[in-house]
């Protein structure tokens, strides 16, 4: 399933270039110049200021019941899509909380590639664990998923491109959206932020944690090194497209290292990070995850005999997450 997902991702990356960029990727020298000034945290992206964030009733993914009422909001603000050539693509967040937001602890929740309505039947267990412990949950939709799928696209097609430069622009925009969402909740009185990131969402969260101080982080099957994924056999069509455009592997690696958590810093305290990984993960091998944890003195590491695609089926993980939250002072 993991390898099939990678094949789908490779097709989507090629399709993005063909559909929105005339079938051509950026020139290698253009990427070289871009990297001289690139910083995924160096700008807030093109999102609106917090005053322009619009709150409306949430129209999907409901948690509230008559017995256990939860306040649910859908937050939107203007962003844009580098993948689609810079057209407007509103950022969307789902906000859940009980009581008042003033003084509330919030968990910024960032999912990974492929998140869908089907995944909600599992994800909701994480949300409920947080709500039961008096956290608010701020769920971020990532580009190309849920409401952000365009009529002529399939889920996931608005997130990745075969063009490394476009992907780096997308990462900066996605991280900027997360920052805008946090700033907006601060304006409404939120006291602090923890984080939950899955797969690619964990990579975005870890990049943001270089600048933002999180009280704790949970990382599930995190993408730690983009080059590990790009070097997979399933990604050969992407590598072939880049090679035909004159790219060498060293330049591609240099580009993806700038957004790979394995090569970037984080301000998160190691003893307040929970790392959940799948021993059969075909995207981020077990050895990469273990080396990352050791290099950063992360001791709360739990593994499951699952793949990248099946880890949400493991019921033990949800209890482990609740136990982690209970252990935090």
List, for residues 166-220, the tens digit of each pLDDT value.
Answer: 999 999 999 999 999 999 999 999 999 999 999 999 999 999 999 999 999 999 9
Q: Which two tokens stand for residue 112?
A: 């990974």
- pLDDT (0 to 100) of residue 169: 95
Provide the 10 A C-beta neighbour count for residue 109: 24
Q: Which residues pair with 99 in a beta bridge?
A: none
DSSP string, 211-263: TS--S-EEEES----HHHHHTSGGGHHHHHHHHHTT--HHHHHHHHHTT-GGG
Output the CA angle 15-310-253, nearest 5 degrees: 45
- pLDDT (0 to 100) of residue 270: 97
Secondary structure letter of residue 49 according to DSSP? P
- pLDDT (0 to 100) of residue 46: 56
- pLDDT (0 to 100) of residue 4: 81
Enumerate residue ranges in the chain where pLDDT < 70.
Answer: 43-51
Cα first-last separation, the chain: 39
Q: Which two tokens stand for residue 111?
A: 């999912």
Question: Under DSSP, is residue 309 helix (H, G, I), strand (E, B) or coil?
Answer: coil
**C-alpha 250: how far from chain center:** 25
Q: What's the pTM? A: 0.95
**Whole-angstrom distance, CA of residue 274 vs CA of residue 222:** 11
- Homologous superfamily (CATH) for 2-63+72-327: Alpha/Beta hydrolase fold, catalytic domain (3.40.50.1820)
Residues 6+ apart with CB under 8 A from 325: 129, 130, 133, 135
- pLDDT (0 to 100) of residue 3: 76
Alpha helices in the chain (DSSP H): 2-20, 28-37, 117-132, 164-187, 200-208, 226-230, 236-244, 249-257, 286-295, 316-327
């Amino acid at each position: 399933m993991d390898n099939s997902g990678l094949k789908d991702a490779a097709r989507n990356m090629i399709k993005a270039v063909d559909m929105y960029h005339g079938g051509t990727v950026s020139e290698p020298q253009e990427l070289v110049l871009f990297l001289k000034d690139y910083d995924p945290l160096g700008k807030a992206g093109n999102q609106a200021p917090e005053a322009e964030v619009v709150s409306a009733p949430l129209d999907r993914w409901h948690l509230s019941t008559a017995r256990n009422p939860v306040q649910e909001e859908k937050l939107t603000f203007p962003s844009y899509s580098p993948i689609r050539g810079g057209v407007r693509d509103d950022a969307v967040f789902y906000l859940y909380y009980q009581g008042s937001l003033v003084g509330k602890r919030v968990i910024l929740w960032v999912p990974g590639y492929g998140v869908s309505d089907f995944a909600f039947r599992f994800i909701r267990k994480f949300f409920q664990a947080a709500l039961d412990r008096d956290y608010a949950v701020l769920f971020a939709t990532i580009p190309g998923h849920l409401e952000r799928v365009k009529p002529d696209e399939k889920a996931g097609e608005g997130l990745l491109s075969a063009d490394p430069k476009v992907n780096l622009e997308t990462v900066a925009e996605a991280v900027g959206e997360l920052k805008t969402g946090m700033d907006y909740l601060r304006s409404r009185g939120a006291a602090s932020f923890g984080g939950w990131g899955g797969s690619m969402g964990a990579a975005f969260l870890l990049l943001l944690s270089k600048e933002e101080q999180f009280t704790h982080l949970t990382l599930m099957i995190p993408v730690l090194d983009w080059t590990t994924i790009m070097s997979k056999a399933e990604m050969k069509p992407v590598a072939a497209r880049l090679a035909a455009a004159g790219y060498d592997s060293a330049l591609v690696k240099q580009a993806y290292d700038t957004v790979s958590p394995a090569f970037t810093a984080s301000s998160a305290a190691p003893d307040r990070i929970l790392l959940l990984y799948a021993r059969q993960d075909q995207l981020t091998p077990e050895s990469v995850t273990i080396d990352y944890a050791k290099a950063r003195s992360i001791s709360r590491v739990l593994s499951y005999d699952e793949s990248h695609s099946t880890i949400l089926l493991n019921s033990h993980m949800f209890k482990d997450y609740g136990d982690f939250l209970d252990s935090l002072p």
